[in-house]
Chains A and B, each alone.
Chain A
């Protein structure tokens, strides 16, 4: 890398559209899995609260899944989902998100104080209305804490998908490495980190709007 500067601003200027496309692809393959994870974690968490015996084995399974190296899982999926498809990257990321979100959902639903639950019942709330009006709002700070961890790691992990052909901004790392040209790599690192920080800020804002009482509490020690 003799005499090559870390960033050639000219390259960045001429590739803005290209970078925007990769950023968009990255956002889709990393954030949709978090949404899917949430959509699965909510009913599953409710089941675990209703049937506590279910929770331990499920938590153990997802603990093991969380320990699986992303690249290895991508690779193992290739024969089933194909090279360079979104599914190859999104299925493992959904599992990682679920592994983070299931415990936080269960903790959140369990955090509703028993008197509050009884008060809602005494006011004539049925189980569904109580869930929507009392239990889910109480769980919001927990859910947001889980979502922050899941989203940030999903965004960071998605770039590894570039090694199996579909990694959004991760492609910049391979491109720059193969051409001994650091500018795309630096641009990729900056954009991935920025996407993660913006997502985190959006989640914090959502918590502010949905659960304003949770501001100065640190709820989940994960």
Chain B
């Protein structure tokens, strides 16, 4: 058996077209979970990061903590969370949010903090309030960094949601993990390929977003 014959076996299986084990259903589950985790991470980390970046307080601490957070092994967090909280959405969401939040926190904080000080002074000088400076100067300035952070977080969450299937979460990982358990390599490899495609598609989507959705001035500021 080689890679291609495994793949054709995987994609021609009727189970992959209809029902709960179909590709469409699994991709949907995967995206739903990843999106939910990313959403929570954005809600928790971005406002805090913007605030810390603007005040400049604890910025060093943020960077140090996020470095430590990057070392946390997600497979360990997922298994532990399931043992402690039981199989369920929360048990798997918590480790994924823990993975994405530090990345976003640092991106928001560093993005705002790197605002040209002259620009901030000028904005204050023409009479803008702190709130206005943050919204009208610092956040637009931070946007490229923030989007880059969001891209990293999204790709990491999508990749790691695969691992989470080990504890019985659906999504594309159930092909990979289920296939490994039953020595069904066609399923394992097919699932792996789908995760890869999903991750690369996400990466490309963000590349386009950063390229075309940002105003020209901001794109230049990024380079």
Q: A134 at the A/B interface (Cβ < 8 Å)?
A: no
Contact A67 B202 (CB under 8 A): yes
Q: B173 at the A/B interface (Cβ < 8 Å)?
A: yes
Q: Which residues of B contact A153 (CB under 8 A)?
A: 70
Q: Which residues of B contact A173 (CB under 8 A)?
A: 73, 75-76, 79-80
Contact A76 B192 (CB under 8 A): yes
CA distance A73 to B188 in the complex (A): 11
What is the predominant secondary structure among interface residues of chain A facing chain B?
A: helix
Contact B192 A67 (CB under 8 A): no
Q: Which residues of B contact A174 (CB under 8 A)?
A: 79, 166
- Which one of A1, A180, A192 lies within 8 Å of B73 (CB-CB)? A192
Q: Which residues of A contact B195 (CB under 8 A)?
A: 69, 71-72
CA distance A63 to B207 in the complex (A): 11
Q: B138 at the A/B interface (Cβ < 8 Å)?
A: no
Whether A1 touches B84, Cβ cut-off 8 Å, given contacts A176-B79, A188-B76, is yes
Interface residues on B, range: 35 or more
Contact A163 B180 (CB under 8 A): yes
Contact B73 A170 (CB under 8 A): yes
Q: Which residues of A contact B199 (CB under 8 A)?
A: 67-69, 72
- Which one of B1, B67, B83, B192 lies within 8 Å of A177 (CB-CB)? B83
Smallest CB separation, B27 vs chain A (Å): 14
Q: B51 at the A/B interface (Cβ < 8 Å)?
A: no
Q: A189 at the A/B interface (Cβ < 8 Å)?
A: yes
CA distance A1 to B185 in the complex (A): 33
